[in-house]
Chain A
Amino acid sequence: MKKIPVHFRPHQPVKYSYQKLTICKSCQTFTALGNQQCPACGKSSLVPVEQHAASTAKRSMHTSLLIAVFIGLVAIFLSHTLLQMVLCGAAGLSLVTLLWFVQRQVMAQETNRALLALLQQDQERLGQDMYRDWETAFSNWDSDKQLTYELLRELSALLRNDTIRLQQVALLHYFVLRKDMDLVLEPLLITNYDPLLADYIGELTKIKRDLIKDSTFQYVLNYELEILGLENGQDILAGVAGAAVRMKRYVLSYSGLVRRYAHKLPKDRFLRLYRIVQQNPHEMGERLTSEVHRIYQEKYQWDPDFQEPSTRGSLI
């Protein structure tokens, strides 16, 4: 299969999943695909749900404020003397200002309340709208794989299931992956074993090893036998072991994995492991230490790089 060179459009990660969600002001349809037009009515009236909730909260507050202003005006209208008018005007203005001030203080909380109500009022529809988005994204699979991936990436902030994760992994398999790409790994880890995911992990060990963290090490350990069954399984596992030698903590936590694939590590990764073991001789455990020494004796005993003391930091 010939891989496709791609340049992903910039992706905005969000802290809260609802920040990906927009709603049509006209027909109340939800969407998360970042489109300009409403997928249901076609109008350009999509706004972020937070903005919609803020408008709802503001509208309700304005109504309260208008009622207060109205009562104040009635008081002025019913005044008999100028003094009464001035008194009613001043008192009314103070009370309206006080109410406005309190409203301003609680604006964020009232917006949150309105947002939760908006999301909860029609849950079935919200679910249907998100699954319609998913279908829309998927419908581009044959014609535009990059677009499909980008849309699924947006949706995966909201839809958290293994199917959408696997679809993204499967799409990534079609692309030429590069160091400068905005790639992720942990959000794509699934519960079960999948060879495409194992392969993706293997690719990342070559170009973005900093993405390999605890949950990936755990995944690889859980499915080590299955990965070994792959044609390039040993290389994938060696790549993961090579990623573990980034940090002393990883070497300590996954010493078994590192030990089993230490003989397959390229020179720079093995050198790093060798130095970690040398600097922490009592912490690394006997089996790992002896395996590292065995490989050193076998392959690198006369290598000048192994003779110089390390001048590098603890994280590579």
Chain B
Amino acid sequence: MLAYGCLGILFLYAAVRAGFYWFRRNSAPTQQDIDNSLLTILNGESER
């Protein structure tokens, strides 16, 4: 029974992690966002 319990935990863990990755992929910054962010850090808002 314990083995199946572990398997259940593994199922939940894998599902939660996979769901976590999958759902937050849409909110990930694009390369352009990173570029803009870096230029703002180094030059302020005015200079791009």
Contact = CB atoms under 8 A, between A and B. Distances in A.
In this complex, the interface size class of chain B, counting residues with CB under 8 Å from chain A, is 20 to 34
A112 B29 contact: yes
Interface SS majority for chain B: helix
A75 B35 contact: no
Contacts of B28: 106, 109-110, 112-113
A116 interface: yes
Interface residues of A, number: 46
Contacts, number: 115
A103 B29 CA distance: 17
A106 B11 CA distance: 20
Of A16, A115, A126, chain B has the most CB atoms within 10 Å of the CB of A16
A234 interface: no
Given A72-B10, A84-B3, A158 B17 contact: no
Nearest to B32: A16
Nearest to B48: A160
A159 B48 CA distance: 9
Interface of B: 2-4, 6-7, 9-11, 13-14, 17-18, 21-22, 24-25, 28-35, 37-39, 41-43, 47-48
Given A109-B24, A110-B28, A112-B29, 9 more contacts: A71-B13, A88-B3, A95-B11, A99-B14, A102-B17, A112-B33, A113-B24, A119-B37, A120-B41
